Amino acid sequence: MSPCKTATKPLRPASGADRAPVLCPLCGRPLPVWAIPEASARGIWVKCKNPSCRKEIEIKL
């Protein structure tokens, strides 16, 4: 049996220069999530680490 050959390129890991922090829309503090410009996401919930905010934010990229 021959190995499966695909035409897709393997994904390269994002370097630190490619990533940008996602900001809390309520207080502006960076959330513990980073995204590359080509990223798309829905349904990811993250809690803001700002002690005065502490809201759960849905990430929509």
Q: pLDDT tens digits for 3-23?
A: 656 555 555 665 667 888 899
- Which whole-number Å values give the CA distances from 27 to 15, 35, 42, in the listed order? 27, 19, 21
pTM of the prediction? 0.64
Map residue 50 onto helix, strand or coil. Answer: coil
In sequence order, the 6+-apart residues with CB closer than 8 A to the CB of 29 are: 23, 48, 49, 50, 53
Domain spans, the chain: 20-59
Beta partners for residue 36, in sequence order: none
Q: Please report, as a single letter, which amino acid is at residue 37.
A: P
Q: Please, which pLDDT band fits residue 36 given cuts at 50, 70 and 90?
A: confident
